[in-house]
Amino acid sequence: MEHTPVGSVRNAPEGQRSDAGPTDRRAPRMPREQRRAQLLDAAHQVFVVHGYHGAAMDEIAETARVSKPVLYQHFPGKRELYLALLDHHLGILTDAMVTALQSTVDNKERVNAAIRTYFDFIAADHQAYRLIFESDLLNDPEVSDRFETFNARIADEITGVISGDTSLPHAQAVLLGRSLSGMAQVAARSWLEVADDVEQDVASDLVSRLAWRGISRFPKES
């Protein structure tokens, strides 16, 4: 296959023929958002196999079947690709968790739904879960800020329920919200290690029962 020289198209619109060489035939024109999704999917595959530090832009471009100039038109570098991928996965999990927590006014069912959501996310794509929660960039400030935003959003949703249902001071409700969210997250991650021996539904039910037996000790105020 023919490849367009990198220097000739770095600043040219995607798919446009350059005076310095032919258009890259591997990368037919497509809407920007569709191309972006394609590149993120390719980056996901490469990051899962090699980790962030072992991944290379060359391999991501090859996996996406585009030239490096096309890749760089959308993402200036590997870091921007990873952060965009992290935002994508955390956004999906955030929406799913908020939906679960708002799906019922029955608190026992709310606990079940929230914990089941973590397990469903892992079961659907455990590689995505490992990619975002076991990344070799967890100490990076921009990455840790994104995790803190995610954790705070979920904890705030739980805290709001606890504060509305009990007479606990706000600070105590915050602590319980953070604790429940952290327990669900750690338990779901730990399940991956025993998934061959413990079915998903069984694992989710066990953790839900544990969480409910704790939080139900704080009864609703009339």
pLDDT tens per residue, range 52-96: 889 999 999 999 999 999 999 999 999 999 999 999 989 999 999
At 21 the three-state DSSP class reads strand
Contact 155, 97 (CB under 8 A): no
The structure's pTM equals 0.77
User: Please, which residues have CB within 8 angstroms of residue 160's CB and are 6 or more apart in sequence?
Assistant: none
First vs last C-alpha separation in the chain: 72
State whether 67 and 110 are in the same domain. no
Query: Which residue from 73, 37, 71 is spatially nearest to 56, judged by alpha carbons?
Result: 71
Question: How large is the average pLDDT for residues 42-54?
Answer: 89
Q: What is the pLDDT of residue 87?
A: 93
Question: How large is the average pLDDT for residues 155-173?
Answer: 90
Q: What is the pLDDT of residue 113?
A: 94
State whether 71 and 99 are in the same domain. no
| Domain-embedded: residue 56 | yes
State whether 102 and 204 are in the same domain. yes
State whether 207 and 124 are in the same domain. yes
Q: What is the pLDDT of residue 122?
A: 87
pLDDT tens per residue, range 57-66: 999 999 999 9
Q: What is the pLDDT of residue 221?
A: 66
| Domain-embedded: residue 177 | yes
State whether 87 and 72 are in the same domain. no
Integer Rg of the chain from CA? 22
pLDDT tens per residue, range 135-153: 778 888 999 999 999 999 9
State whether 199 and 89 are in the same domain. yes
Residue 23 predicted with pLDDT over 60: no
Kindly report the CATH number assigned to the domain that includes residue 155. Answer: 1.10.357.10
Return the structure tokens found at 181: 């969210």
| Domain-embedded: residue 196 | yes
Domain coverage including residue 136: 83-214
